[in-house]
Amino acid sequence: MCKQPIEILIVDDQPVVIEGMRAVLSEYADVRIIGATTCALEIFNRIKALTPDIVIMEALLPFYNGILSVLQIKRIDPIVKIILFLRLRIGFAKNIVLSKLKLLGC
């Protein structure tokens, strides 16, 4: 029986981050990158069109809050898995963001 690859959508405002993830994930035969976007406003249309198994995205995106996008993504596709990463070094702000993410089940 042939196992289907895990389909992933990558979202980050930095193209270099997307390309780095593509490079790393392309090493795995059971993973397929089905899309990527640097625009937070495109996330929802991409999820509807591509139906990824996993969305890997930056938690703090320009023009749209990555945390709030989790709620919208789950409304569109309740079974999609979401991996958020956070590039924030300031302790207090980081703790606030992390506590909100925990409330959302991330």
- Which residues have C-beta within 8 Å of that of residue 65, sequence separation ≥ 6? none
The pLDDT tens digits of the residues spanning 19-67 come to 999 999 999 999 999 999 998 889 999 999 999 999 999 887 877 776 7
Between strands 60-61 and 6-11, the pairing is unpaired
- H or E stretch including 57? strand 54-58
Q: The whole model's pTM is what?
A: 0.82
What is the 8-class DSSP label of residue 27?
T
Identify which has the larger pLDDT, 27 or 101: 27
The CATH class of the 6-103 domain is alpha beta
